[in-house]
Amino acid sequence: MARERFFLELDPPDKSLKPLPHVVIVGGGFAGLQACHALINQPVRVTLIDKRNFNLFQPLLYQVATGLVPEADVATPLRQMVGQAPNVQVLLGEVTEIDAQARQIVFNDRQFAYDHLILAAGSGSSYFGHDEWREAAPPMKILEHADEIRRRVLIALEEAEQTPDPARRAVLQSVVVVGGGPSGCELSGSLMDLMAHALARDFKQLDPNQCKVTLIDPGDRVLRAMDPSLSAAAGTYLESVGVELLLGGRVQTIEEGKVVVNTAAGARTLEAATICWTAGVRASHLGQVLADASGCTVDRGGRVVVEPDFSIPGHGEIRVIGDLCSYSHTSDGKPLPGMAGPAVQMGGWVAADIVAQIQGRQHKAFQFTDFGTMAVLGRLHAVADLRGLKVTGLPGWILWGLAHLMFMPANENRLSLLTKWLWAIATRQRASLLITGRPNQHLKVDVGLEHPLGAP
């Protein structure tokens, strides 16, 4: 029996806003939040819908996972960021259906009408068809994932502190990270620093020299999206601080405490109390929902293939941005990467294009400006490729820090992060080494919600 649905049309606080075109933004990440900011005080009324009530600064999740900063330093309530704008309302909910013909969405079992729809629902983790690995190897996309990784690492070290068996203690002091991209490299470097240095004074029975982090990647180098010279520098640094690089290794099986990897030399079994997954990305399920509703195309990763103005064929009022879109209208024909820089530029451009369309003005075509890529590998060490300028070491770390503080949306968080970074540099102590949460709580959440995986 179908559940009854209610039509939701909230009156804006200011009655003068009611006749204005209604822009609905789904997703409060980099792309959606930037679009919302750009539409403040414009001749539209805006509704921002997200499954969480906060914006998450995903690039620093690894610092939550390794105890450098607490959750509050990388997450800011959406209502504090845009909810006070007179033409913006923020609603908590999960969009489950899209009616492209009627220009309505369904969320929280209610229908909601729009004149313009911006989908910026982001991405989650992909296990390449092996979702059974998730329980043993949590991903790192949302706060619950970072909390789970931190909990597992610290619980293992606490057990190791009380374990007389050297072989068992070695397993408890070992971590395996799957995926040699920026997230995997950053997590590996920070975990090594956490176990070998930050906790050396706190655990009396542990030998820091027995702490081990192994980074697995199927390629011939880490950070394959970066220039080979920077990849080499990154690999050299990680190995210098004790991270073992297992390159050319393809994961065959993952179970609790064990990873089997195929290498050129044959199968290799790694034992570790903590296993982390940073290898795969998939788009939000809303991409397929939109495809089913409109006939648009999604790529193999579930991303919506969009037009030059980020719309879909036959529906100029629907725009898809951020990690959810596949935008190939570039000079080299390669899709824009799922990173903060492109997402922010997409969000700002689409908002300006909608306003221009409403006002009957022409708007210049979207042109992405690539400011480069970077990854922090450890204490005062990073690699950065800034439009051909290749920087490593301390200069790279300074550029990385400035860039991340600039992208951080809340001034309060900028100050808090800078303080904690300086404290960690001076003392090698971590600001948030709390064991919280319940075991395996990450299994009940994915890109953002409270609903168990696979639930309707």
Residues labelled as active-site residues = 186
CB-based contact 330:368 (threshold 8 Å): yes
Helix (H, G, I), strand (E, B) or coil at 275: strand
Q: Which two tokens mark 453? A: 């995986």
Specify whether the backbone of 215 is left (phi greater than 0), alpha (psi in -120 to 50) or beta.
beta
If one counts every other C-beta atom within 10 angstroms of the C-beta of residue 220, the result is 10
Contact 94, 51 (CB under 8 A): yes
Question: Residue 383 in contact with residue 182, Cβ under 8 Å?
Answer: no
Distance from C-alpha of 27 to C-alpha of 48, rounded to nearest angstrom? 7
What count of residues does the chain have? 456
306, 330 contact by CB (below 8 A)? no
Question: ∠434-438-439 over CA atoms, to 5°?
Answer: 105
The angle, 0 to 180 degrees and rounded to 10, between the axes of the packed helices 340-358 and 30-39 is 30
Distance CA 248, CA 269 (A): 15
Q: Rounded to whole angstroms, how far apart are CA atoms 219 and 42?
A: 47
- Distance between CA atoms of 257 and 169, rounded to whole angstroms? 13
| The two structure tokens encoding residue 109 | 């079992």
Q: Between helices 393-407 and 411-427, what is the axis angle to 10°?
A: 150
> What is the pairing mode between strands 373-378 and 325-326?
unpaired
Q: What kind and span of H or E run contains 23? A: strand 22-26
> How far apart, in whole angstroms, are the C-alpha atoms of residue 381 and residue 122?
29
